[in-house]
Structure 1
Amino acid sequence: MSLKHVSVLLLLLQLSACFTSGSCGKVLVWPMEYSHWMNLNVILEELVRRGHEVIVLNHNASIFVDSGKTTAIKFETFPIDITKNDLDMFFIQLVDMWTNALQDSYWEYLLALQKIFSEYSNTCKDLCKAAVLNKKLMTKLQESKFDILLSDPISPCGRPVTLYELVAKADMWLIRSYWDLEFPRPTLPNVHFVGGLHCKPAKPLPKDMEDFVQSSGEEGVVVFSLGSMVSKMTEERANVIASALAQLPQKVLWRFDGKKPETLGPNTQMYNWIPQNDLLGHPKTRAFVTHGGANGVYEAIHHGIPMVGLPLFGDQPDNIAYMTAKGAAVRLNWKTMSSADLLNALKTVIHDPSYKENVMMLSRIHHDQPMKPLDTAVFWIEHVMRHKGAKHLRVAAHDLTWYQYHSLDVIGFLLACVTIPTYLVIKICLFVYQKLVKTEKKKKRD
């Protein structure tokens, strides 16, 4: 399973909900950081708008989950030993190691990845321990009397649980993807696709940004962003990119807060932050250079913008591979691409009409759904709440032992059914043969 699915499918695994005697329920949320929180927050705001009570379990070092923000969402904040700056630096170092470390061999790369995931796993475990061992917090949550627990970090009998056991408890899976991005494959009844739930119609740009976009004339603009987790890069990579962008006839809006590259052209403006969805929905946008994060890819599909993909880590190579296979993107290697490679890739997706046609086809598929992705997500959350679970949709395979799941008990029984009769037949044949041989020998002696 890709990281995209591990992180995205946990939308409902992160939720604990109950349905009260009225028409509204109470939802307890264990959030994740960065783009995962962005998507989850969209769902939570819609639940609040529909009258549900939403409580987010948050620690005091959270990077993206802002409990001080004015919102109808309630927060239960618990203390942890590390600071927000410590956690932020950890993620920066994690991404930097993943994207910029040059391994000499495949095995060294695997060892580096193992180290990354080990450190991340330890951090997650520490966060969970801080919440679970907080007696005051646990007592308060228990007194809330949740009727349906869709996320159970502590097993009923008090023993440690494996990731598989924890995941198997989920009543419903909401996947941050859809068939415009994915290839067809079988899914279970409690799996539903809600990719692009955060996408919205484009809003007007800030005046200075709109003036810059309009100054592009008929050539239009290119939007460049590597997401919220990658805002800086080495000077060498920055100059490679800036040199390519400077040779474009289009104007470029580049989200980048590092040192200004020496090769930066007058056609390129750098921003610490850009309204990405609004820019991709602007009629003058011609192409999108992206790291391949699910949110950015879906905004590009939503608005029908061809892409140049520079995948860095996680689910990003997977997303760009899908878009490349469907003729909506050109993929480049972040570490080895030259200025000429980036320039040619941008010229290709801008001037080859097939890329625009293909991404528009995907956009039509994305928009042609019986319900909007956000409405689909909320419907299935409320479905679980109304029925106090979704056991009627949960596959029985989760209740099987490992040997039952792989049919080893059935295989063993069938082998026994074949082996035992075969053994008996052979023994009988040998016994008869031995008797006949002894009889023949006796006759010869007589």
Structure 2
Amino acid sequence: MKNHFSWKPLVVVEVAVILLIALPSCNSGNILVVPVDGSHWVNMKVLMEELHLKGHIMTVIRGSNTMYIAEKSPLYTSITIPIRTHLTEDFFPKFLKNVFEVQRGDKYLIKFLKFQKELLFMMSEIHCYSCQMVSDILENTELVKKLKEAQYDLVLTDPALAGGVVLAHYLKLPLVLNVRWIPSGEGHSALAPTPLSYIPSPGSGFSDRMSFTERVINILYCGITVFQQRFMIGPHYQALCDRYFESSCDIETLIQSADIWLMRADFVFEFPRPTMPNVVYMGGFQCKPPKALPEDLEEFVQSSGEHGVILMSLGTFVDSLPSDICDEIAFVFATLPQKVIWRHLGNRPSMLGNNTLLVNWMPQSDLLGHSKVKAFVAHGGTNGVQEAIYHGVPVLGIPLLFDQYDNLLRLKEKGAAKILDIATLERGIFSSAILEILHNPSYRLNMQRLSRLHHDQPNKPLDSAIFWIEYVMRHKGAAHLRSESYKLPWYAYHSVDVIATLLAVPLLLLLTIIGVIRYFCHRVCKIKSE
């Protein structure tokens, strides 16, 4: 009898099973994302793109007035919160105009005080808006029910505006921070010991090698940060905590309780300092090998010949500098043999040369990776600085506000950048600085050294970031990596109670001995007198 049984289907099934076993397992996670707009969204979106490729589901909470966070996206679904605020699209341009006027004033002390006042009130207003948005969410009982029923695995947020931190704590979800800044300053300051003897305060403009005078000034800058947190920013968040949490807490404690800190820095760039085991350094995670440029842009770059190209961009919030400064910069660019690509959205500078191309947007990272790019004129934002390090392009910095001067200072200290002051910027100074960057090979060599150090690591920063996000989802948090020191009162953290006890014991013993001696002396004197 002929056997009609065929072995082929079995082989196909076996091969399919083997292939399924060989494929890496991917358990889809459910992530609630609370981002910050502007350049912060640019790098949050990089994380989200990679998480999307891994099959994770994401929901983004956004305000109705966001400029960059789209309501509809293939990466995520969104929950849009109506914003009841008087902040408008021209808020930052008006603020920057005031900053320019302050920085270009005559008297340094008055200029400094005016700048700090402008900055403090602006920061207070932005954090007030963040808190109002969270309050609107928590007052919406249907939305809160929806968020709880969604069974999110974790909250991913940028604590520069800490509304997402409050929301994560309210929903009792594990918390991962995409972080460099928190309301009280640089992220490390809330996480690990921060000796002011060698760790510069934000805004001080100092390196980790300070003279006595600089250490005094450094402490004063730290005082400004403490004042900002205690009286200008902290009260907004404290009102939220008092209203929505039964147990007493504050925003710094909530931030310190985060499971993982994805830190947008690395020690190729950052000054060495104490850190903690739940900090994952992912500086440059948004950087990728350059892609081909658009045809018209590539043609312009190639037309530069052996002289190469200079890039200039001042970030997402700065469309242009004051017109007189733009004219000075344009005049200098026109005298150079290099071609220039300048992101500029303001009025066309009157002294613009034929070698300068004005653009509304540029593929910045792809251009920095082009072999013909010789220098990068930048404001010093974290993203641009990290991209310059990744591609090994020296920087001429024009810092305007926030952390920009501090970022550029770290490059300057490593011999890879030069910094100009917007208050004194004119054609002679700008010309001298750009020529030094172009013709002094030490700047490029030092930046290329930083680039080699950055690339020489066992894992790509983005891969490390994704691993630790998934790690938190797999283990429902990472409490074993988190120090419990944030639960200690300040006197216990600094061992004031222990020191007081250790001092009190010998003091008490000494007083007892003195008391006994006085008692016997008194008795002896009394006996003699009798």
- Check whether TM > 0.5: yes
Give the share of equivalent positions with the same residue, in percent: 41
Name 2:240's counterpart in structure 1: none
Name the aligned partner's letter for residue 420 of structure 2.
L
- Displacement of 1:112 in angstroms is 2.3
Q: Which residue pairs with 1:32 in the alignment?
A: 36
Query: Residues 271-420 of structure 1 correspond to what in structure 2 (within 5 A)?
Result: 271-420=359-508
- Report the secondary structure of 2:340's partner residue: strand
* Match in the other structure for 1:16: none
Secondary structure at the aligned position of 1:28 is classed as: strand
Whole-Å separation in 1 of the counterparts to 2:350 and 2:281: 44
1:145 corresponds to: 151
Aligned pair 1:107/2:113, yes or no? yes
Query: Secondary structure in 1 aligned to 2:422?
Result: coil
**Alpha carbons 1:132, 1:138 under 8 Å: kept:** yes
The residue that corresponds to 2:94 in the other structure is 93
Q: Secondary structure at the match of 2:377?
A: strand
1:118 corresponds to 2:205: no
Q: Which amino acid aligns with 2:376?
A: F
Q: In 1, Cα distance between the equivalents of 2:314 and 2:71? A: 26
Determine which of 132, 140, 163 is the counterpart of 2:138.
Answer: 132
- Structure 1 stretches lacking a partner, 5+ long: 1-20
Whole-angstrom distance in 1 between the partners of 2:26 and 2:119: 48
The C-alpha deviation readout for 1:307-343, integer Å capped at 9, x for no partner, is 1011111111111000000000011101212211111
Distance 1:97 1:131 in 2: 33
1:308–1:346 contact (8 Å) kept in structure 2: yes
- For residue 283 of structure 2, the aligned residue among 195, 203, 221 is 195
Q: Distance in 2 between matches of 1:72 and 1:112?
A: 37
Q: How far, CA to CA, are the matches of 2:468 and 2:101 in structure 1? A: 40
Q: Deviations over 1:226-262 (max 9, x none)?
A: 0111012211111121122112111111100111111
The one-letter code sitting in structure 2 at the alignment partner of 1:370 is P
In 2, are the aligned partners of 1:201 and 1:281 still within 8 Å (CA)?
Answer: yes
Cα offsets for 1:141-184 (capped at 9, x unmatched): 01112355674435577247422122122111011111111122
For the residues of structure 2 that align with 1:390 and 1:342, how far apart are their CA atoms? 49
Q: Deviations over 1:344-390 (max 9, x none)?
A: 11111111111111000000011111111110110111111111111
Alignment of 1:145-294 (within 5 A): 145-146=151-152, 148=154, 151-153=165-167, 155=170, 158-159=245-246, 161-294=249-382
**Change in 2 beyond 3 A, CA 1:149/1:302:** closer
Q: Which amino acid aligns with 1:32?
A: V
Aligned-residue RMSD, C-alpha: 1.9
- The answer to whether residue 83 in structure 2 is matched with residue 77 in structure 1 is no
Which residue is 1:10 aligned to?
none
Separation (CA, whole Å) in 2 of partners of 1:284 and 1:171: 43
Which secondary structure does the structure 2 equivalent of 1:88 belong to? coil
Please tell me the residue identity of whatever aligns with 2:131.
Answer: K
8 Å contact from structure 2 (residues 61, 78) kept in 1: yes
Determine if contact 2:268/2:450 at 8 Å carries over to the other structure: yes
Single out whichever of 253-262 and 202-211 deviates more from structure 2. Answer: 202-211
* 1:57 match: 61
Bigger Cα displacement from structure 2, 141-150 vs 49-58: 141-150
Instruction: State the alpha-carbon separation in 1 of the partners of residues 123 and 455 from structure 2.
Output: 36
Distance (Å, rounded) in 2 between the aligned partners of 1:55 and 1:215: 45
Higher mean displacement: 96-105 or 421-430: 96-105
The aligned amino acid for 1:101 is V
TM-aligned CA distance change 1:68 to 1:126, over 3 Å: same
Deviations 1:108-161 (A, max 9, x none): 332222222222222222222222222222111011123556744355772474
> Which amino acid counterpart does residue 90 of structure 2 have in structure 1?
M
Q: Is the 8 A contact 2:29 2:153 kept in 1?
A: no
Residues in 2 aligned to 1:291 and 1:43: alpha-carbon distance in whole angstroms: 24
Deviation at 1:46? 0.8
**1:122–1:98 Cα change, 3 Å:** farther
* Corresponding pairs, count: 419
Which segments of 5 or more consecutive residues in structure 2 lack a partner in the other structure?
A: 1-24, 157-164, 173-243
1:421 aligns with 2:502: no
Contact kept? 1:78, 1:137, Cα under 8 Å: no
Question: How far apart are the structure 2 equivalents of 1:380 and 1:430?
Answer: 67
Task: Give the Cα–Cα distance (whole angstroms) in 1 for the partners of residues 43 and 343 of structure 2.
Answer: 21
* C-alpha displacement of 1:432: 1.6
Q: Decide whether the 8 Å contact of 2:32 with 2:154 is kept in 1.
A: no
Q: Given residue 95 of structure 1, which amino acid in structure 2 is its aligned partner? A: L
Q: Distance in 1 between matches of 2:115 and 2:83?
A: 32
Secondary structure of 2:311 counterpart: strand
Deviation at 1:88, TM superposition (A): 2.1
